[in-house]
Structures are given as structure tokens and as C-alpha cells.
Structure 1
Amino acid sequence: MKFTIKAALLCSAFAVAGPAMAAGTHPVTGEALADSQTYTYRMLDDVKSFDPQINTDVEGSHILRDLFEGLVNSDPQGNSVPGAAESWEVSEDGLTYTFKLRDAKWSNGDPVTAGDFVYAWRRLADPATASEYAWYMELMGVENATKIVAGEAEVDTLGVTAVDDKTLEVKIDAPRPYFPGMLTHASTFPVNQKVLEAHGNDWTKPGNLVGNGAYVLTDYVPGVKVVRERNPMYWDNDNTILETVTALVINDENIALTRYDAGEVDKTEVPAGQYPALKEKLPDETYSTPRSCSYIYMFNLGENGPEALKDVRVRKAMSYALNRDVIVNNILKGGQYPSYNWTHQKTAGFEMPDIEYATWTQEEREAKAKELLAEAGYGEGGKPLELTLNYNTSEAHKKIAIAASQMWKQTLGANVTLANFEWKVHLDKLRNGDFGMARYAWCGDYNEPSTYTDLFTTTSGHNNGKFSNEKYDELAKAAKTSDNPAEEYKQMEQILADEMPIVPVYQYTNVVMVKPDLKGYPFEDLMNNIYSRRMYKVAE
């Protein structure tokens, strides 16, 4: 079996883009374009890194999709389409992918080659890089990735080869029909080895950073703003419409909304609880669509974690006592889904297991929570249950944390101290196991259940709570070669419900305000992969 996608077929609609835009109209829709093509949006937290192999946060990934381009992109509906690769083929056994790279250049004029991808992928897997996403090479099943990440094999044995400058061959350990979709993840983007070696740790600074994306980094003020401008070297620059894209770091969602109302930003998140009123007032600017992210409270089960949380009865009591309906209906009010499992329910190929406590009434959950806590020797008549909940700065996170702590106090008599940290400090504490409970959210890296379930394998780089279950690991491995992996995923979700290493809280919707003159925002993409080059502003 061979599977080939040709970029020329998919991009034919844009063939007349140059002349059309010169006339001030969109090349496909014919809409009159605004004279000023600048896009400014609100960003909750600063970016961890502009290095594709180092960044771990969602906001950073949005920026990296502008500065770099991977082999595969996603279209506005979330389907895989050509990126730096103009086509690809997969072998009959599904184990070898051959990518043909298009003629493209780095922003400094260097040609983009297959060797650039080999260098980046080896760098990602290399223990010396200390990337938290090294495990992604394992998720993709790239040959020898597991041994390399463990330090048991040399990086040059990774199953990725530059056949020639325009041909990249990738060998994986088992057929994965969703493999191309995994390549939209920023950790797989190429980097320019010459630039890294010339600038060292400073290579990601404005003026030094060289990318192969539609934009270049022109200004960065930590904690304030990130500015990128059109890259004239980008292979499809003629079809890029937005000239300048600016992300403003605004921690307070209400201040962000005020700045949106004042016309200072074109897109912002709807503050918790305000969606119904804003939708009624500004129906053409207010949106709520499914988004592949799950919001949880993670328990620290590692050696630094609280003794009480080593008892599964305590963990279950904390989960059962949380009233998710109050959180989504009374606090958030943006169409979010109350959650009793980990994987987002809209994920392709996911079948929800029969999780027993999800079928109970809240009264039944609370009664069981009290019973379990008493059995564990805590609460009324037992030891006091005292825990700390870390969360990163956000008004919504604060409101949810306050409500949760009150629920735990009222139902269980638990004293939960809230600890707020700015984003980077919060991440450091998670990585270092310096927490008891912590607010955490995971947004899918690709549209398939393993993007969620694999996170709680023992060796996962993001398993900060140190949950470990041998059966769970076996199921994760089996799912890679299963004819019907939905069954393994259901069993893995059931183990999470039985062992409760997390408190599922809710599953996301993308609740945003977008100015009516901004077009091309990918509302239909569950993964919320944003490419600024696809957006544009129309004349008022």
C-alpha cells in the first residue's frame, strides 16, 4: 500500500494569490482586505522557550508554528496536509515513511534539507538535550528512540535518515495510521545546526533565531510581548497576508477583555462565567467550540508527595467530593464538559469506558467520599487531612481552586491551602516534584487517544505525579500494535479511575472573543493548531 499527498493539488486554489492580493482582495474568497494586516492577541503566560525541542507549553507551540514548519501541517479542520514536505509515501507494512521535501529556505537563505530534520530529531531524543519531549520520539515509535532516550544507544542509530537533501526516510516500530498527524507537533520541527552552533544558548534571541516558518522573531520582551513579522524567505510568502503578529502577555483575563473592548487585541479568552452574557451581547464575536484539552488536579505520588495521598482511598475521596457541575455550570459557563476521566471525549477513536462513579449522583459521590476517608483514618474522628494545592496565575484557576477547597472542606473537613505561582515557577515545581496537589492541563499533541493515555506511563516525561502501574504500561505498549486499540484505551482509563492518580475536573472548550474583521481562525480544529499565515483582516 502506498499513500501519497501532493501539495500542488491542495494548494492549487492559491495559485493566483500574488495578483489578487496586489488588488487588495483575498485570493480565494474575494473579500476586500484591510490596509493594515496586523494581528494582536492575548497570551496568558510567557513562553518557556522558542526552541522547538525545548518548549513544552501550548502558547509557545502557537508561536513556533509561525517561526518554524514541520513536515506536516494541519488544515483548518484538523486534517493533515503538506508542510515542509510536499508529499509522502508509506510502505506496504506501514513501517517506513518517505518524505519528499519541497524547495524551501531558512530565513537566512540557507536551503532547508532532510539533514535539518535528522539533526533536530536526534537532538530531541538525545539525553544531553534534556528535553521534556524526548519521549515524543518514543510515542511516534521511531526506531531505536526508546534505547536512545534511555542512554542505551547512540543518537545516530535513530530511525531517521537523509537519503538525499530532499528525501527523508523514517522507520517506526509498528504501523500508526495517525503518524503523519503527530508531525504537526513543534518538537519535530527542524532547526538550523549552523545557527545553534554559532550562537549557543543565545540562538533563540531576536536577530539570532533562524526559522523556516512564515514569520521571523523580531521582538521579545520577557513577560510582556512576542512579535513576529513576515519571513520573505518562506516558500509560500506570496500567500501570507498578515504582516505582523504580536502576542501580549496579560495574566488577568478581565484586563484582557477590557483591552479587547478597547480594540488593543483582536483575540482573547472569555473570562470565566462571562460567556452567556457576552454571547448575547456580541454573538458574532463570541465562540465556544470543543478543544482537545483536559483540566485536572494531579496528585504527587512520588517520594516527596504527602503521605496521605499514598492511600488510594484518600485520592478517591478527594475526587468524589469535587462537584464538577458547579465548576462548569456556575463558574466557567462556557460549555465545558464535567470530567470523570482523562482523555477528552471528542478525541478521534476514543470510546468512553463505563466509569462507575461518573454514573452516581453528587450526593452518592460525597457519601462514598466520607466513607473512604474515614476508612483511611482521616477526617472526623481521625487524623486531620491537610494538603496544599498549587496553581498557576489565572483568575479562572483561582476561582476553581477556591471552590474546590471549599468543597473538600465542607464534605471531608480537609484543609487545603492554595498556593499561586507564575507559570514558569509552577512548571519548575511540577518537574521537581515540589507539590502535594497541582493544577495541570494537557492539550492533545495529535488527535488520537494515546496522546492522553501515554502521559501516565511510568517513563513519560510529563508524568510529574510519578504514577506507575505495570498493567497500565503493558496496555500502552499493546495499544501500539492492536487492531482495536480502543479496548486498551478503555482499560487504561479504568485503571486511572481505580487508582485515581488525578482528579479529573473538566474537558475544555475553546471559549474566545475574536474581532469580526479577523478571518481564518481555526474554530473547527479540535487540536486548535493555529497558523497565523492562514488568517487575515478584511476591510470594514
Structure 2
Amino acid sequence: MQKKTRLFVAGLLSSTFITGTAFAGGTHPTTGEPLADDQTFIYRVLDEHTSVDPQVVEDVSGSEIVRDLFEGLMNQDADGNLVPGVATGYTANEDNTVYTFTLRDNAKWSNGDPVTASDFVFAWQRAASPELASAYQWYIELMSIENASAVIAGDKPLDALGVKALDDLTFEVTLSAPLPYFPQMTTHSTTFPAPQKVVEMHGDAWIKPENIVSNGAYVLTEHLPQERSTRERNTMYWDNDATIIDKVVALVINDENVALTRYMAGELDRTEMPAGQFPRMSKEHPEEAISFPRLCSYYYTFNLSDSGPEEFKDVRVRKALALTVDRKIITENVMAGGQTEAFSFAPVATAGFEPPEAKMASMSQAERDAMAVELLAEAGFGKDNPLKFNMMYNTSEGHKKIAVAMSQMWKQKLGVEVELSNQEWKVFLETRGNQDFELARGAWCGDYNEASTFLDLMDSESGYNDGKFESARVDELLASAKTSGDTTPLYTEVEQIIANEVPIIPIYHYAGVYMMDSDVGNWPVNNVQQNWYSKDLYKIAE
């Protein structure tokens, strides 16, 4: 493994794109850096991904794989800007309700078939279909595509969805209302194309390595559940000649400390930093320990549905619990990796929106604690009648440390008795989605860089409103924001309602905290969404 600061700066922080088609003398065509003979990138993931089906996947690690296997209309560069994908560009009509994408004529599926506009029509209709019942079905509705709500509800046929193939290379989308950030939304995996013949031939098994046909820079060559997933160069990819990384391996390692040990042994090129380890590792390995802002929020959500605890129906209880969480201890002592305290749902890194300062944020922790004691007493809870509930998180040492810290804060300050429980990722998602919990960990990374990607989760009809928070005013504000020329006052009021009603407890806004081998070139540290593409990376020779 290369351990030189010079290469870290030149490689990791470089935002130069690979545009050459030949790598004479084993050097990078733009930077001139010597390239490693073995262009294999190996990284660690916490859990088994939910799927590699673009219209089914619902987690970050799965989406990372899908971005390599499939390519949508638009991609992002190292700074998060839109760049061409399958589409070379797009136009919009005068009122921005009709977008027309022109597809490149050399895009192919891994079996050699051309990628056409019909592949996008099929995929988008599939994402909306009641039959598939995708966990991201709501995303199609969120995109304001014409008739999306009626199609999802089964009230209109799939072909009523506002998508058309005007010809093989022209894809037209009609919106029910103008949506200024619509093109950004096409970088999300839900909108990636799907090969209709293959899906219909193999059903759910179409994504197995022996069956899958994809149009991205890589093909899936191996998948061992709960162990590893491997993708290798797709020779049919339109820009294959400019791709340097040959193979990408995602290893499932549930324990962060085991992952760090394996990284230090040279088995991994990248791993997440265990909670609290960044200060030490940045001193001992300054060229490899990195931290940068991410468009993600870490929070806990109350189950406010009929199946939730009666105690949580009282806003005073929710507010008392939120007030008592000392976020500074969690960010500086438990995590210690550059995370920032969260008193809003949308992170400060969100483009075009600065969350309002919550009253809680301007108070000292002592003042918050005192208010919390009063609120909980008003709600009828105290030492003689302690509040009791279950707190659930998905299995991870870092999540456990945070849950333990929060439960101790509540115990010491409020006399609250918390039972902690953890579940494996897929079980956890199902349990939370079925409202079979009391208080559950939540995390959200922006699907696009606009405040609505977070705030829309508070909509009554959102597929990821797992706590079933309902507010007619929030629904009204979010609906108005879809067509407003100035969304700031609308989003500000939504954040204020969240602060007042406390359906969730925001804990911190993420940082990307990694151990990254300095051999890895072009990691997109400036892309707060962390939409990375293996085709844009390279390995530097030792």
C-alpha cells in the first residue's frame, strides 16, 4: 500500500476526469501518475445490500453497486455537478413541464443490445407499478411525473405515466408541474434503465450474476450473500476505453474494528472509520485518514402510528427526550470524526437552503436539561413513574455506542428506562417499515441536493415516513414547494414545525470519515452526496 502524502494530494484530491483512450507507459493520461499493474479496488460495507435491481434497491451500499452496473440519463462529476450519462443532454419546454433527453447512439447493454429510450420507459413504469411495489415507488411521484399518483394507486395503466420514447434515442418526460431540480433527480438509481427482455425472462432472478444484463461500466461477476460482491469491466460500455479500474470488490464486514484491522493489513483500499478513532488515526496516518462533509442526517424517529407507545403521542415527552440528548458529546467524544450537531433535518451542506436556527440550538445543555425535566414532569413522568420504552438500531458498533450514550443521558437526567435492541439491516428495515418499533434509528442521505430530499420524508404519504408523522400544514407546504419560485420560506416553516412537533430527534449531520489508501486516485471528496463511480477512479503504482 502506498503511504506518501504527495500521492494522497495528487491522487485522492484530484478532480481530473479520465478522458484519454490509451495509457502509454502505464501512466494516467491526464495527471501523468504511474498506474498500478493491478487495478482492483476493494472496499468494506457494513451490511448485505438490499438489491442490485435499480428499481428495488433502497440502501446506500446497494446504490453504490448499482451506479457501477447501470448508467442513467445523467451522472455527477467529482464536485457533484451534472454530466452526461446515457443522455448527451436535454432540453425543456418554455414552462419546464416537458423534458426531452437525447441518448447517445453508442450506449449498449452488456449483451451487445443497444440502450434505447424504451428501456427508460420500461424502467420508470416498472418503478411506478403497483405490481412491483418498489420501496422507492414514491420517488416517481416525487419527480412530479404526469399521472404518477394515479398509476401508483392502480387507478391508471402504466402507459399513462408521463414518459415516452419518441424514437430509439429520444426520451420525453412530461411533468404535472415545473420542478426546477428535475434533471438532478435522474442521477438516482430508481431512474436507471432496465432490460425488459431479461427481466421478463428471469423474473426476480434477473439480477443474479449468471443472468444479469447491465449497461454501466461494470458487470456483476460474483455475489456471495453476507460475504462479498464483485463487479468487473463491461467491455460493451460506451466509454470502456477510458476506464482504468478493472475490478471492484465490496466485502461485507459487520464489525468496524475488524474492518480497520483488515485495512491496516493491506486487504482493503477503503473502510469507514470506527467511531472515535479519527483523532488517533489522523495523527498516525495523516495521508490516509480523511473527513469531509456529507449530505446525510443521523436521527431517531418516534413511532407515532396507532401501534406506537401512547407516551410518544404527547409532544412534551418527545421534546424532553430531544432536549436531553447532548449532541456535542456524541459528535466530539463518541464519533469524533468531523460530524456536526444537528438541530434541523436538512444538513447545512444542502444546496440553496440554510436551515433556521432552532430555539434548542441557542440554549446551553444545562438549560435544555432543565426544560426537559419540567416537560416530562408535566407529562406525568418522573422518578416515581419512570418513562420506559424500547430503542432499536441496526447492528453496528458505532450505532450501539450512540444508542448507549443517549440512553445513559436519559437515565441520568430524566430517570428514563430504555431497553436497547439491535437487528440485522434487512430485518431492521422491515421492522421499521411495518411500524413494529417504539423509537428507531434513522439515517438519510440526499437522493439529490435540494432540501426536499430530506423534508419530503415528513410528508404524510412518504414511503419512508416510518414514524407515520402527520401534519396537514407540512403536506401543504411541501406541495407548494414543488411549484414555488422561492422555496426557502416554505422549507423554513417545515423545519420549524419539525422542531416544534419533534417527530424525529436529529442527532448529527454526517461527515465522510474513511481510511483511504493513498494509492486511490480521484475519490470525489467534494461531492457531498458521495455519488462515486468506479470508472472515474484509478490505482497509483507504489
Normalised-by-shorter TM-score class: over 0.9
Provide the residue aligned with 1:239 in structure 2. Answer: 242
How far apart are 1:22 and its partner, in Å?
Answer: 4.5
Structure 2: state its 5+ residue gaps: 1-15
Provide the residue aligned with 1:509 in structure 2. Answer: 511
How far apart are 1:150 and its partner, in Å?
Answer: 2.2
How far apart are 1:147 and its partner, in Å?
Answer: 1.7
How far apart are 1:358 and its partner, in Å?
Answer: 1.4
- Matched residue of 2:138: which SS? helix
- Matched residue of 2:231: which SS? strand
213, 216, 223: which one aligns with 2:219: 216
How far apart are 1:331 and its partner, in Å?
Answer: 0.6
Provide the residue aligned with 2:228 in structure 1. Answer: 225
- Matched residue of 2:261: which SS? helix
262, 286, 289: which one aligns with 2:292: 289
Provide the residue aligned with 1:375 in structure 2. Answer: 378
Provide the residue aligned with 1:518 in structure 2. Answer: 520
CA separation in 1, counterparts of 2:432 and 2:18? 45
CA separation in 1, counterparts of 2:18 and 2:390? 54
- Matched residue of 1:23: which SS? helix
Amino acid of the residue matched to residue 469 of structure 2? Answer: F
CA separation in 2, counterparts of 1:362 and 1:18? 58
Assess, with a 3 A threshold, how the Cα gap between structure 1 residues 397 and 14 changes in structure 2: closer, same or farther. Answer: closer
CA separation in 1, counterparts of 2:495 and 2:444? 15
- Matched residue of 2:26: which SS? coil
CA separation in 2, counterparts of 1:42 and 1:477? 39
Please tell me whether residue 31 in structure 1 is matched to residue 43 in structure 2.
Answer: no
RMSD: 1.1
CA separation in 2, counterparts of 1:148 and 1:368? 48
Alignment of 1:143-182 (within 5 A): 143-182=146-185
How far apart are 1:284 and its partner, in Å?
Answer: 1.2
Please tell me whether residue 204 in structure 1 is matched to residue 207 in structure 2.
Answer: yes
Provide the residue aligned with 2:469 in structure 1. Answer: 467
Between stretches 400-409 and 141-150, larger displacement belongs to: 141-150
Q: Deviations over 1:334-374 (max 9, x none)?
A: 11011111011110011221311111111111111111111
How far apart are 1:13 and its partner, in Å?
Answer: 7.4
Provide the residue aligned with 1:341 in structure 2. Answer: 344
Amino acid of the residue matched to residue 310 of structure 2? Answer: E
Amino acid of the residue matched to residue 403 of structure 1? Answer: A
CA separation in 2, counterparts of 1:457 and 1:113? 35
Provide the residue aligned with 1:275 in structure 2. Answer: 278
* Contact 2:347-2:355 within 8 A present in 1 as well: no
- Matched residue of 1:65: which SS? helix
Q: TM-score under structure 2 normalisation?
A: 0.96
484, 497, 500: which one aligns with 1:498: 500
CA separation in 1, counterparts of 2:361 and 2:135? 32
CA separation in 2, counterparts of 1:475 and 1:221? 45
How far apart are 1:14 and its partner, in Å?
Answer: 5.3
* Contact 2:17-2:536 within 8 A present in 1 as well: no
How far apart are 1:140 and its partner, in Å?
Answer: 1.0
Provide the residue aligned with 2:132 in structure 1. Answer: 129
Amino acid of the residue matched to residue 136 of structure 1? Answer: Y
Please tell me whether residue 189 in structure 1 is matched to residue 192 in structure 2.
Answer: yes
- Matched residue of 2:131: which SS? helix
CA separation in 1, counterparts of 2:371 and 2:156? 49
Aligned length: 526
CA separation in 2, counterparts of 1:505 and 1:297? 8
CA separation in 2, counterparts of 1:453 and 1:220? 35
265, 268, 271: which one aligns with 1:265: 268
CA separation in 2, counterparts of 1:501 and 1:212? 41
CA separation in 1, counterparts of 2:17 and 2:363? 52
CA separation in 1, counterparts of 2:304 and 2:163? 36
Amino acid of the residue matched to residue 384 of structure 1? Answer: P
CA separation in 2, counterparts of 1:151 and 1:486? 34
Provide the residue aligned with 1:106 in structure 2. Answer: 109
Q: Deviations over 1:377-426 (max 9, x none)?
A: 11234x33110011111111000000000001111111110001111111
Identical aligned pairs, as a percentage?
A: 55
- Matched residue of 1:129: which SS? coil
* Contact 2:18-2:536 within 8 A present in 1 as well: no
* Contact 1:389-1:419 within 8 A present in 2 as well: yes
- Matched residue of 2:389: which SS? strand
Provide the residue aligned with 1:331 in structure 2. Answer: 334
Amino acid of the residue matched to residue 101 of structure 2? Answer: F
CA separation in 1, counterparts of 2:266 and 2:252? 16
Q: Deviations over 1:44-102 (max 9, x none)?
A: 11010111111100000000000000000000000011001011111121111110101
CA separation in 2, counterparts of 1:518 and 1:13? 14
CA separation in 2, counterparts of 1:146 and 1:344? 29
Q: Deviations over 1:251-281 (max 9, x none)?
A: 1111101011000000001111111111111
CA separation in 2, counterparts of 1:522 and 1:354? 30
Provide the residue aligned with 1:86 in structure 2. Answer: 88
Amino acid of the residue matched to residue 129 of structure 1? Answer: L
- Matched residue of 2:375: which SS? helix
* Contact 2:343-2:357 within 8 A present in 1 as well: no
How far apart are 1:199 and its partner, in Å?
Answer: 0.6
CA separation in 1, counterparts of 2:138 and 2:332? 36
Q: TM-score under structure 1 normalisation?
A: 0.96
CA separation in 1, counterparts of 2:287 and 2:269? 13
* Contact 1:67-1:214 within 8 A present in 2 as well: yes
Provide the residue aligned with 1:7 in structure 2. Answer: none
CA separation in 1, counterparts of 2:526 and 2:41? 20
CA separation in 2, counterparts of 1:369 and 1:13? 52
CA separation in 1, counterparts of 2:24 and 2:32? 12
CA separation in 1, counterparts of 2:376 and 2:387? 9
Provide the residue aligned with 1:479 in structure 2. Answer: 481
Provide the residue aligned with 2:71 in structure 1. Answer: 69
CA separation in 2, counterparts of 1:377 and 1:123? 50
Assess, with a 3 A threshold, how the Cα gap between structure 1 residues 156 and 312 changes in structure 2: closer, same or farther. Answer: same
Amino acid of the residue matched to residue 195 of structure 1? Answer: V
Amino acid of the residue matched to residue 237 of structure 2? Answer: Y
* Contact 1:374-1:380 within 8 A present in 2 as well: no
CA separation in 2, counterparts of 1:379 and 1:427? 33
CA separation in 2, counterparts of 1:495 and 1:148? 31
- Matched residue of 1:446: which SS? coil
Provide the residue aligned with 2:12 in structure 1. Answer: none
Amino acid of the residue matched to residue 397 of structure 1? Answer: H
- Matched residue of 1:54: which SS? coil
